[in-house]
Structure 1
Amino acid sequence: MTIHDISVCISDTLPVFPGDPPPRLTPRQDDAGWRTTLLSLGSHTGTHLDAPAHLLEQGATLDAIPLERLIGPCRVADLAQFTGPIGAAELRRLKLKGNRRLLLRTRNSEFWGRRDFVPDYAGLTAEAAALLVDWGVNLVGIDYLSIEAAQGEGEVHRRLLEAGVVILEGLNLKGITAGDYELLCLPLKIAAADGAPCRAVLRSLDPPRGYPQHHTGWPP
């Protein structure tokens, strides 16, 4: 079994979406020598989940999302070759229908080494979001701070969140091979939250020792 950490590390230098509060980590030490850190950060800092309440006035808050949505089989799709917005045609080309949890690896994962926000990251179009809803996807993740283009007006989020699709943003999928994994993604348990940072990992099961990973012969 191999575990892949696909979360970004929260620090003072982590970029944030324009308008969001930047993270601040302030170390403290009392007279007895005990160390603590004062944390100041937004609910959509780094690797985080969007709850419907992020955009919808009567949307469910994060604590209402069942944990079963956040743990289970998922597909990592490789879209790094596309430089523009990710549309329905690009998703259809990869034959992703049938996956309930879908993580999109794009060229965005290369941006995490930069301290500044990169406005021309790859995001979904509204048509692509509608296609995911039609396919029955109930969790979709992407490797930058928003699943929607920086110039978007919320339509991508709205289509997904109104359909009950959980949005996982701020992933780092650099070095992750496209394929099937188990996703474990648990947010901070914050009451009535519109979103929260989380630790997201992928788990892949190694092939049995002594057997080839792929074979077509019979018997093996």
Structure 2
Amino acid sequence: MLDYRAEFDAEVTLDGGGELRARGFRLNIPHADVTDSEITALLVAALAPQRVERAAVSDVRIIAEPHPPAADTQAERVRFVELSHVITAGMVTSPGLPGPEITPHLTRLASRGVYAPGTEFAIDRISMLGNTGTYLDSPFHRYADGADLAGLPLERLAGLPAVVVRAVGGERGVTAEMLAHVSVAGRAVLLHTGGDRHWATPGYGVDAPYLTGDGAQLLVDRGAALVGIDAVNIDDVSPAAAGERPAHTLLLAAGIPVVEHLTNLRELPPLGARFTATPPRVAGFSAFPVRAFATVPDEEPQP
């Protein structure tokens, strides 16, 4: 396992006056393919509580170092939290889109004529949209030249430090104002809206929660690694939106994967969990179901 650090020069203007200049400044980074904007966001976060008016980085160099070996102590205990819906034949994910068809390709009974006596297998077939169940959108979903499922680095999908934003019972839109004090750089930002309580009902797609355009722009500017929501869409899909999709447009343009139809986010702490949502490496494909889950440190003593 490797740890990554960025070494760079920086110029910072502080809100209220004053400037900082640094050469060879180093910061820990979450993955090897960070952008300059992500590094800038990490720098701004590292300078808190100082308020930054402007920051710029240059001459960036990424350093990979072996992760230090764990101390000879009891292994860290974690618990797993399931964040995906179960996929079943005919289920409706998004109203108006067809559900999956699950059929046998080879039944156990038929397989008995293929294999040795006492040996049997089931081989199943599924026909479905990529946007089924809990799924991940790649940049290719929105942009023809964006990374497809096969082009997404694992550093963007697995073991991400998560921040859970509680937005249950308030306004439908999660705004920049609601996100202003959340540290998102290098993290999976999980929007807990409570929209999953309507899953598999006619009300799931009606007046559903979503991320506003200004909220998406803030997450881009501050270097979020991934954004997920427990609702029917990251964007407003009501008739009032007139088909506009600012959250998809901004996030995917910045290379930030989007996970929709999460569930069970209430089980996660605001900070401290690690989030994983990995689709198969399908070339030329834009979205696919994931087994989304989180690991949370387990403080309970074992018997």
Q: TM-score when scaled to structure 1?
A: 0.85
Distance 1:27 1:35 in 2: 7
Does residue 17 (structure 1) correspond to residue 94 (structure 2)? The answer is yes
Does residue 192 (structure 1) correspond to residue 280 (structure 2)? The answer is no
Letter in 2 for 1:182: R
Q: Which residue of 2 aligns with 1:133?
A: 220
| Preserved contact between residue 196 and residue 261 of structure 2 (Cα < 8 Å) | no
User: Of residues 57, 77, 83 in structure 2, which corresponds to 1:6?
Assistant: 83
The count of aligned residue pairs is 209
Change (3 A) 1:15 1:116: farther
Letter in 2 for 1:20: L
Specify the structure having the higher radius of gyration (Cα): 2
Q: Which residue of 2 aligns with 1:100?
A: 187
| Preserved contact between residue 15 and residue 116 of structure 1 (Cα < 8 Å) | no
Distance 2:290 2:133 in 1: 8
Q: How much does 1:75 deviate?
A: 1.4
Distance 2:300 2:94 in 1: 43
Q: Greater share of strand residues, 1 or 2?
A: 2
User: Of residues 269, 294, 303 in structure 2, which corresponds to 1:178?
Assistant: 269
User: Of residues 149, 166, 175 in structure 2, which corresponds to 1:78?
Assistant: 166
Structure 1 residues without counterparts, runs of 5 or longer: 211-220
Change (3 A) 1:73 1:174: closer
Q: How much does 1:83 deviate?
A: 3.7
Q: Which residue of 2 aligns with 1:202?
A: 294
Q: Which residue of 1 aligns with 2:52?
A: none
Letter in 1 for 2:178: E
Compute the RMSD of aligned alpha carbons.
Answer: 2.2
Of all paired residues, the percent bearing the same amino acid is 30
Q: Which residue of 1 aligns with 2:252?
A: 161
Q: How much does 1:99 deviate?
A: 5.3
Q: Which has the larger displacement, 20-29 or 103-112?
A: 20-29
Which one has more relative contact order, counting CA pairs under 8 Å at least 6 apart? 1
Letter in 2 for 1:156: A
Residue by residue over 1:97-139, the C-alpha shift from the partner in whole angstroms, topping out at 9 and shown as x without a partner, is 4452111111212112526642311001111110111111020
Change (3 A) 1:38 1:97: closer
Structure 2 residues without counterparts, runs of 5 or longer: 1-77, 113-120
Change (3 A) 1:32 1:175: same
Q: What SS class does the counterpart of residue 53 from structure 1 fall into?
A: helix
Q: How much does 1:35 deviate?
A: 2.9
Distance 2:233 2:99 in 1: 15
Residue by residue over 1:171-209, the C-alpha shift from the partner in whole angstroms, topping out at 9 and shown as x without a partner, is 112542332201122112212211111111100111274
Distance 2:161 2:268 in 1: 15
Please give the residue correspondences for 1:62-77 in structure 2 after superposition, counting only pairs within 5 Å.
62-71=149-158, 72-77=160-165
Change (3 A) 1:158 1:27: same
Distance 2:100 2:204 in 1: 14
